């Protein structure tokens, strides 16, 4: 609860607020990891679609440039004429005359049956193929909201465990604040021992000589780096140019 332990600006980014519709930093890290796991599936899907299009293009080229059509025509005419009016001539006409034949042959064929008949995928088929991956990516983006209910469900069935977790978190925050204050004091002390740079001195001189430039040349908090506001407190030491926000001060 905020009345029990108000969170500092640095601590707010490490917690998840269920009523906040925005995706917060701890959730963002988990969501990015889930999206990275979808990249191999996306690359595999692109490879399969590209391979399908490549094979279709090759087969289509073979179909259009390997087509061969054959045309065969032949004529056959046989006629035997027996002259004369004798009995032998009549006999020959009746026997050899049966050999008279006449026919024309025209044959057309092609290798169309042997050629491949490729059929390319339509846009709808490509869309249906990509829909499962799109649904998976959408679930990775939306899953952060159902995950926020896990703590509420666990606290409903295990209230004593929830109380233990809250106390542990409270003590952990106190230890982190104590350690954070110790570390930041050492950092500020080391920073104060170093001589200020030329840019820092020039900026300070400009701010002292032209006060109206403070709106443009705003300083930042020495600890958290928050931009300068009227609530910022300067260091009481006149030789120190450090500035602190209200929370850090």
pLDDT of 202 reads 67
Q: What is the token pair recorded at 57?
A: 């293009």
Task: Tell whether 162 is covered by a domain.
Answer: no
- In the chain, the DSSP E strands lie at 69-78, 101-110, 233-234, 243-244
Q: What is the token pair recorded at 219?
A: 């300083």
pLDDT of 177 reads 82
Split into its structural domains, the chain has a count of 1
Task: Tell whether 113 is covered by a domain.
Answer: yes
**In this structure, are residues 24 and 17 in contact, taking their beta carbons and an 8 Å threshold?**
yes
- Using 70 as the pLDDT threshold, list the residues of the chain that sit under it: 1-4, 195-218
H-run or E-run covering 208? helix 198-209
Length of the chain: 249
Residue 144 belongs to domain spanning: 23-71+107-157
CB within 8 Å of 125: residues ≥ 6 apart = none
Task: Tell whether 198 is covered by a domain.
Answer: no
Give the SS3 label for residue 243.
Answer: strand
pLDDT of 210 reads 64
Q: What is the token pair recorded at 195?
A: 């001589």
Task: Tell whether 53 is covered by a domain.
Answer: yes
pLDDT of 179 reads 85
Task: Tell whether 14 is covered by a domain.
Answer: no
pLDDT of 212 reads 58
Q: What is the token pair recorded at 247?
A: 């929370």
């Amino acid at each position: 609860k905020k009345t029990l332990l108000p969170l500092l600006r640095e601590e707010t980014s490490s917690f998840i607020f269920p009523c906040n519709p925005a995706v917060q930093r701890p959730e963002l890290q988990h969501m990015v990891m889930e999206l990275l796991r979808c990249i191999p599936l996306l690359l595999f899907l692109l490879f399969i679609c590209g391979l399908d299009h490549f094979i279709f293009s090759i087969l289509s080229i073979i179909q259009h440039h390997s087509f061969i059509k054959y045309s065969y025509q032949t004529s056959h005419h046989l006629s035997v004429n027996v002259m004369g009016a004798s009995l032998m001539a009549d006999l020959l006409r009746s026997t050899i005359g049966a050999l008279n034949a006449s026919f024309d042959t025209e044959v057309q064929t092609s290798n169309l049956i042997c050629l491949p008949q490729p059929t390319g995928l339509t846009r709808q088929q490509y869309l249906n193929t990509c829909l499962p991956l799109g649904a998976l990516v959408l679930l990775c983006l939306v899953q952060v909201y159902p995950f926020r209910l896990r703590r509420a469900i666990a606290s409903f069935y295990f209230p004593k465990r929830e109380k233990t977790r809250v106390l542990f978190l409270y003590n952990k925050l106190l230890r982190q604040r104590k350690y954070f204050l110790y570390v930041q004091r050492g950092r500020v002390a080391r920073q104060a021992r170093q001589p200020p740079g030329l840019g820092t001195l020039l900026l300070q001189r400009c701010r002292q000589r032209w006060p109206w430039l403070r709106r443009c040349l705003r300083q930042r908090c020495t600890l958290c780096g928050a931009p300068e506001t009227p609530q910022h407190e300067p260091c009481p030491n006149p030789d120190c140019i450090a500035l602190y926000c209200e929370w850090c001060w």
